[in-house]
Amino acid sequence: MISGPRGDDIEIRADGATLYGALDVPDHAVGTVIFAHGSGSSRHSPRNRMVARHLREEGLGTLLFDLLTADEEAVDTVTRRLRFDIEFLAQRLGAVTDWLTEREDAVPPVGYFGSSTGAAAALAAAASRGPVVRAVVSRGGRPDLAGPALRHVEAATLLIVGGNDPQVLQLNEMALEQMRSQRELIVVPGASHLFEEPGTLEQVAEHARRWFLRHLSEPRRAAPA
């Protein structure tokens, strides 16, 4: 179900919840990337909005949305529980994916861009959606938290980690070994967990652009056995 135009503050009714997001699809888009933000963040994340802007300039649609309702966010601010409930977040992301693909103006195929715990949710949701999701990009993510779902991901997956984030790098390397789909790990030299250093986030955006354009515009490949 949809309410409101494209752009900021569209209403998304999915998984029994009312969520808010920003949907922007350029003319002649070759696919749409859904953003799954990390713990304690929202659709207003300046880092994700910067990456989304870069993707749109290259002909990709973007959907940024709040994974949690206002009430859920209030609870999570105190308990910090929902932001680490990967099964719950993946179910929510999957429901939003269904909402998007059912729109008459939807531009398939779909990709996911996840950060922090949102990356785990993106991979778990991709595993449950099969060929609907063609590509996943993780920025400083925790793919290890997706657990057994990693082995069932069919989407081509790019993991991007900062060179100055050794613990997360190790966790990404472990997750990569568990996956069967086409996958790649890129380390951005001199970058910390949030990619706050000059030029590092631009590198993330460029790697994401390359990955999504490659895998959303070409015929889907079967996952290796």
Residue 22 lies in a domain: yes
3-state secondary structure the chain: CEECCCEEEEEEEECCEEEEEEEECCCCCCCEEEEECCCCCCCCCHHHHHHHHHHHHCCCEEEEECCCCHHHHHHHHHHCCHHHCHHHHHHHHHHHHHHHHCCCCCCCCEEEEEECHHHHHHHHHHHHHHHHEEEEEEECCCHHHHHHHHHHCCCEEEEEEECCCHHHHHHHHHHHHHCCCCEEEEEECCCCCCCCCCCHHHHHHHHHHHHHHHHHCCCCCCCCC
For 33-54, the pLDDT digits (tens) are 999 987 666 677 888 999 999 9
Residue 143 lies in a domain: yes
Residue 168 lies in a domain: yes
Confidence at residue 40, expressed as pLDDT on a 0 to 100 scale: 60
For 153-165, the pLDDT digits (tens) are 999 999 999 999 9
CATH number for the domain that contains residue 7: 3.40.50.1820
Instruction: Print the domain residue range for 121.
Output: 2-216
Residue 204 lies in a domain: yes
For 83-136, the pLDDT digits (tens) are 789 999 999 999 999 999 998 878 889 999 999 999 999 999 999 998 999 999
The model's pTM: 0.91
Give the number of domains in the chain. 1
For 18-36, the pLDDT digits (tens) are 999 999 999 989 999 999 9
Residue 224 lies in a domain: no
